[in-house]
């Protein structure tokens, strides 16, 4: 710290200017001595020097420049603030009833975007669907290409049932069976946003987070719902257990190629059969391949 000694004080010009010693002093720190000058440091856009007297004040004003922020991707919100449903489960079901079996009796490519904004409910957990992928008959990326087996039999059932398979021996992947019985089509649920039951979701995931990493991925969705392959062939239109409820249609959607199907034919690898809610951060990676339709 610098102090104005009596012998030096008389040598100070009528209008004094201190640069580095004063500027380096701590913010708003005031040093007072009886009969001595008072040096006060504050911060503002300019440097101001006042006339020195026995009670002189030298004010050096500085202001930090605002930090620049990177421009967010216009298709996705950067704000991850989480707002959960405050109503009870019964009230929620009254507002968004269970979808009937007729809802699913359409081509998977038509059903997939219609599932965006709908809700999955199990126990106290309610999730809003934000990303899906369609898998159709004669699709070289669809499990139906193997024909009817013990594992794939639910895919060939009537629309509106669950098809759950184990991926890499770790992740339970939830699919919604589409179309008429025997066609072999389904829609993979890739990502969701939490609506209710956050604590249960976090416990099942083993992750105390409120960010999209909690549910951005099909394996994460299955874990959050607490399902296994035993839920395969479960009717989603029946009250109790795992249910699929109605929900608001998103204002805008994004489309892109499906993920992790390099083994499929080029025409199916490049098909834009992945759908996501635009302006939602609750989307799995990669996001760069998604664009407006």
Dump the DSSP string for 225-251: HT--GGGTT-BTTSSSSSEEE--PPPS
Residue pair 161/238 in contact (Cβ under 8 Å)? The answer is no
- Banded model confidence at residue 108, pLDDT cuts 50, 70, 90: very high
Q: With left for phi above 0 and alpha for psi between -120 and 50, is residue 215 left, alpha or beta?
A: alpha
- Check: CB of residue 93 under 8 Å from CB of residue 122: no
Kindly tell me the sign of the dihedral angle through the C-alpha atoms of 6, 12, 15, 18. negative
At residue 81, the pLDDT reads 59
Average pLDDT of the residues in 163-189: 96
Please give the pLDDT value at position 76: 56
Average pLDDT over residues 273-291: 97
pLDDT, residue 250, reads: 97
Look at residue 27 in the predicted model and tell me its pLDDT: 41
When pLDDT is cut at 50, 70 and 90, the band that residue 74 belongs to is low
Q: What is the mean pLDDT of the chain?
A: 81
Q: What is the pLDDT of residue 37?
A: 45
pLDDT band at 88 (very low <50, low <70, confident <90, very high): low
* pLDDT reading at 114 higher than 80: yes
pTM over 0.75: no
Mean predicted confidence (pLDDT) in 217-227: 98
Check residue 149 and give its pLDDT. Answer: 94
Q: Is the pLDDT assigned to residue 222 strictly greater than 60? A: yes
User: pLDDT-based confidence at 155, cuts 50/70/90?
Assistant: very high
Look at residue 31 and tell me whether its pLDDT is greater than 60.
no
Compute the distance between CA of residue 49 and CA of residue 61 in angstroms, rounded to an integer.
9
Mean pLDDT of the region 15-23: 38
215-238: average pLDDT: 98
Q: For residues 233 and 20, what is the distance between their CA atoms, to the nearest angstrom? A: 75
Read off the pLDDT of each residue in 165-194 and give the average, rounded to a whole number.
96
Q: How confident is the model at residue 86, as a pLDDT?
A: 53
User: What's the confidence (pLDDT) of residue 42?
Assistant: 44
Write the CB contacts of 167 (distance below 8 Å, at least 6 apart in sequence): 173, 218, 219
**What is the three-class DSSP state of 115?**
helix
């Amino acid at each position: 710290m610098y102090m104005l000694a009596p012998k030096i004080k008389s040598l100070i010009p009528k209008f004094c200017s201190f640069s580095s010693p004063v500027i380096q002093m701590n913010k708003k720190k005031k040093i007072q001595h009886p009969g001595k000058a008072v040096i006060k440091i504050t911060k503002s856009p300019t440097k101001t020097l006042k006339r020195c007297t026995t009670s002189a004040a030298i004010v050096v004003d500085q202001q930090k420049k605002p930090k620049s922020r990177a421009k967010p991707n216009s298709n996705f919100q950067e704000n991850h603030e989480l707002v959960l449903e405050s109503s009870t489960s019964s009230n929620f079901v009254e507002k968004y009833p269970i979808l009937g079996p007729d809802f699913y009796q359409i081509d998977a490519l038509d059903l997939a975007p219609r599932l965006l904004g709908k809700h999955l409910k199990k126990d106290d957990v309610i999730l809003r669907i934000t990303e899906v992928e369609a898998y159709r008959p004669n699709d070289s990326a669809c499990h139906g290409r193997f024909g009817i087996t013990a594992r794939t039999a639910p895919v060939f059932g009537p629309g509106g049932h669950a098809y759950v398979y184990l991926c890499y021996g770790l992740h339970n992947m939830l699919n919604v069976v589409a179309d008429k019985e025997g066609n072999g089509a389904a829609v993979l649920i890739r990502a969701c946003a939490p609506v209710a039951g956050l604590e249960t979701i976090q416990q099942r995931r083993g992750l105390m987070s409120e960010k999209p990493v909690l549910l951005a991925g099909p394996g994460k969705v299955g874990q959050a719902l607490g399902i296994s392959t035993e839920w395969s062939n479960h009717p989603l239109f029946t009250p109790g257990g795992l249910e699929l409820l109605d929900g608001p249609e998103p204002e805008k959607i994004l489309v892109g190629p499906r993920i992790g199907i390099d083994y499929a034919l080029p025409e199916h690898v490049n098909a834009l059969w992945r759908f996501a809610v635009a302006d939602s951060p609750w989307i799995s990676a990669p996001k760069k391949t998604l664009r407006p339709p």
